[in-house]
Amino acid sequence: MTESRTDSAATPVAGSSTHSMSEAGAYLAVENLTVEFPTPDGPVRAVNGLSYTVGMGQTLGIVGESGSGKSVSSMAVLGLHDAKLTKITGSIRIGEKEVVGLSESGMRKLRGNAVSMIFQDALAALHPFYRVGSQLAEAYQVHHTKSSKRDARRKAIEMLDRVGIPQPDKRVDDFPHQFSGGMRQRAMIAMGLINDPSLLIADEPTTALDVTVQAQILDLLQDLQREFNSAVIIITHDLGVVAEMADDVLVMYAGRAVEYGSTKQILSHPEMPYTWGLLSSIPDVQSDTDARLIPIPGNPPSLLNPPSGCSFHPRCAHRDKVPGNLCATQLPELTPASNGTAHVKRCHLPDPDAIYQTEVLPEIAPDLVEEN
């Protein structure tokens, strides 16, 4: 379904992780995933029929507004939902192992080892009562039970040094509050990579960081991905991050995939009105200083009572262009986009290119502007 800008996803490089590959070169394969939570007002289907793949050395960017199901779907990959309360159906294959329905002890063997996650709030993710080095060492020893405390501490110092923490042999004994925001994020990356995982999920890794530190963190992730040849999923609201890092982009809305394709396809020829809204709401640094932002009207739908038909139709300015009121009555399927590539979109509009003409914004994707 996806089209990567490189062929690394299908061909592991020498020195890459020893975790096995699944079929068709995809290390992670999510098929028809549904995640449903019970609430006093009724069930909430936070993820609905989601499918995607990520290969070794490949980066997938997942974008969408808050509540679209980005983090919920990724937490399902790591088995972080309460199995007694959460109903999960579909398939999630990590390597050759099916993890939907896997026991907690089975997930613990994978979590932090074959697959790891960098959480959004590093200050909340790191325990305030324990030294940073102790937390990294613990993450290492869980999967290297024969290693000594000295070996684990040495590994923690090595990882802190690798992610750019100055004086790692001294800072290893600091508490999280003694680290700056950027340093805490680097420590979270070190913890995520300490066991050389084949799959790394980064959930808003640059949230609350200034632009200089954001750039440093993104450069670090790219450098480490090249070193470990990991498959990477980056969850973000920032299309600039996607333009810089991702090979493929998955756009989510109301728990479903609404557009999916290579980064170049999505940014230069989007065919779903929701994706148009995300791109149009980005400030244009070259426009008139008095120009207003163009927000997406309305609010995301309640997943307790989602709208009929296309979930986006109550907010879509183009629904009247589709005959027969299809947008309000019939859920569109994911269908191939008009450019004849692996790009797919969930929309009833018969000819999106006739309605929306876009230029890749140079401030978020200068390389793609030069290619076009």
> Which tens digits make up the pLDDT trace of 268-304?
888 899 998 888 877 766 666 676 777 888 999 999 9
8 A C-beta contact, residue 183 and residue 51: no
Q: How far apart are CA 62 and CA 250, in angstroms?
A: 5
Residues 364 and 241 in one domain: yes
Q: Residues for the chain: how many in total?
A: 372
Asked, for residue 216, whether it belongs to a domain, the answer is yes
Bigger pLDDT: 291 vs 235: 235
pLDDT of residue 332: 94
CB pairs under 8 A, 24+ apart, for 303-311? 303/44, 303/45, 303/46, 303/67, 303/254, 303/255, 304/39, 304/41, 304/42, 304/44, 306/45, 306/254, 310/346, 310/347, 310/348, 311/253, 311/254, 311/256
User: How crowded is residue 269: how many other Cβ atoms within 10 Å of its Cβ?
Assistant: 21
Sign (positive/negative) of CA torsion 165, 62, 246, 241? negative
Task: Give Cα 117 to chain centroid, integer Å.
Answer: 10
pLDDT at 188 > cutoff 70: yes
pLDDT of residue 102: 92
Please give the sequence-ordered ranges of beta strands (E in DSSP) within the chain, or none if there are none: 26-37, 44-55, 59-63, 87-94, 97-98, 115-118, 199-203, 231-236, 248-253, 256-262, 334-336, 344-346
pLDDT at 13 > cutoff 50: no
User: What DSSP character marks residue 370?
Assistant: H
User: How crowded is residue 357: how many other Cβ atoms within 10 Å of its Cβ?
Assistant: 8
pLDDT of residue 96: 85
- The predicted model gives 127-135 an average pLDDT of 95
pLDDT of residue 366: 57
Asked, for residue 301, whether it belongs to a domain, the answer is no
Q: What percentage of the chain reaches a pLDDT higher than 90? A: 53
Asked, for residue 12, whether it belongs to a domain, the answer is yes
Asked, for residue 84, whether it belongs to a domain, the answer is yes
8 A C-beta contact, residue 98 and residue 92: yes
Residues 189 and 227 in one domain: no
Asked, for residue 307, whether it belongs to a domain, the answer is no
pLDDT at 26 > cutoff 80: yes
Residues 282 and 170 in one domain: no
Residues 3 and 152 in one domain: no
Residues 211 and 358 in one domain: yes
8 A C-beta contact, residue 228 and residue 220: no
Q: Which of 157, 174, 196 is the last residue of a domain?
A: 196
Confidence label for 60 from pLDDT (cuts 50, 70 and 90) = very high
pLDDT at 7 > cutoff 90: no
Asked, for residue 300, whether it belongs to a domain, the answer is no
Q: Which of 146, 170, 196 is the last residue of a domain?
A: 196
Q: How far apart are CA 341 and CA 349, in angstroms?
A: 18
- The predicted model gives 170-193 an average pLDDT of 92
Q: How far apart are CA 253 and CA 259, in angstroms?
A: 9
User: How crowded is residue 108: how many other Cβ atoms within 10 Å of its Cβ?
Assistant: 14
pLDDT digits (tens, 9 = 90+) for 89-113: 999 999 889 999 999 999 999 998 8
Residues 217 and 108 in one domain: yes
pLDDT digits (tens, 9 = 90+) for 341-364: 688 999 998 876 656 655 545 556
| CATH number of domain containing 223 | 3.40.50.300
Extract the tokens encoding 356. 């929306």
pLDDT at 235 > cutoff 50: yes
Residues 178 and 260 in one domain: no
Buried b (16+ CB within 10 A) or exposed e, 71-90: bbbbbbbbbebeeeebebeb
Give the residue numbers spanning the domain of 165: 131-196
Count the helix, strand and coil residues of the chain and give each as a percent rounded to the nearest 5: 35, 20, 45
User: How crowded is residue 17: how many other Cβ atoms within 10 Å of its Cβ?
Assistant: 21
Count of CA atoms in the C-beta half-sphere (13 A) of 343: 19
Residues 13 and 161 in one domain: no
8 A C-beta contact, residue 266 and residue 251: yes
DSSP letter for each residue of 207-250: TT--HHHHHHHHHHHHHHHHHHT-EEEEEES-HHHHHHH-SEEE
Please give the model's pTM, rounded to 2 decimal places: 0.85
Number of compact structural domains in the chain: 2
Residues 42 and 108 in one domain: yes
Query: C-alpha distances in angstroms, 56 versus 12, 136, 226, 229, 246?
Result: 6, 25, 10, 6, 13
Residues 63 and 159 in one domain: no
Asked, for residue 305, whether it belongs to a domain, the answer is no
Phi and psi for 286 in degrees, rounded to 5?
Answer: -95, 0
Asked, for residue 241, whether it belongs to a domain, the answer is yes
Residues 255 and 349 in one domain: yes
Q: Which of 196, 216, 249 is the last residue of a domain?
A: 196
Residues 183 and 202 in one domain: no
Q: How far apart are CA 344 and CA 249, in angstroms?
A: 11
